[in-house]
Chain A
């Protein structure tokens, strides 16, 4: 198991919490597991700079939402955006923190990374259990130069509820009407075919163990473990490889200006170079915090992360938020997070 980056960061954070001034007013956050490595890496660097630590518990988006609804943490973190009605009801501000991508991986003899081409509808049909052999005409037509074996396709998915599944299923629902009506999108869905593994490592392990398997994992996981990824066709009809520039293109082409609560979709966004399965992960912050000081510390932390956290994020294969989006987030802090009617964020 080569979760070195994630584990290293986690251990470093744990170490710094025990060694460093445990009495400084650390900020607390809880939720999504997907961005946990980058939050923790940021926290280490931020603590060195400012002395303020971050205690982030990666307990899952659902649990993170519950915690911030109950105000037991300073901020919550969720992979899937929370819907507007719920945000209003819970009096929360939602903003994106970092962007990640979901990539497809396969285990096929003689197929190297980014050699296999797939389209959204074909991927949906595979996961619907309609395309069951690798030498199916639908796949062969897309890959004229590739010799595909006549073995069964084993679709592999996340058995645990996860933001990754939400993003992947949202993509499939976007490209396939049948997926949308039969299965839909959520953090866990009723999969028509295949087998489930727990976590990214569970999916990757199952794909590695099973000839003919296909799975989806977060890009950070695929790149850290040199998994065999595939190309995907984007909305512009171009086949793209999962690379950082392709994810950046997706982030840049998303419609941030019109997105309510920053829930801009980066699924199947237009543009020739765009990777189709990209998504932001979100932070939930109380609009009328109990403690202005703690809320300000949270905003300071993310302000620093937007400004200086880019290289750390990229090193861990996340995509930093585009500069103009970060500006929009700061504006929202100023206008929405109030204590006694006065903005907490003034910079």
Chain B
């Protein structure tokens, strides 16, 4: 016996509210962006007909292509740096005593709860020409004159790494935490040395964590527009800065929308790769 909707007013009300919210504030806006990307620019009313692919063509404009490639380059460098620092970090963290691990993981979550804008600004105090780092190095006599650290590509990458490192470490930590010591022992038992075990067992088994971490770092590293605003100056822009400028200043919505779809596609690709790597490990039930 299946009760009719009228017999379950509560259930019906809940479902209508939830679906309504998500359809209106998630699905509709995203469809709007897709729609906007194929319309024409109109400074007065934001958008107008006819439909065309001009916005996507504009993405390939050498001027913007250069910005995008530079943004991609900085995002990739950020992701690599996070991976390089985070991988051994997560490994070491997962091998610490259980009690201490709880505290250390808590310390990793703190940045997630604190204002990233404020923390980016705090970096500025350290990196500025007459900031703490230069002053310390001068005092130590390691350098003779202050280095220009702020408003460089390096500063943007440092800022992004600083903000996003915990997002790389947490998924890595989770896969290392699940990595059973017994599997490593089995590998040695069957004749594999340290390197062979690392290559054939540890790397494949932590790959989903690496991909999750890459996804959580690479995408924001292209979108966090306030980091170059604060640390990078005008020459080190992210895709996020382009989107923001197009929407808020240049009023070129189709182009901004197309750039944002680019980011969404990148996300879809990474999600797919992540799912694939997990399925290989049989965590999706294998069916």
A complexed with B? no
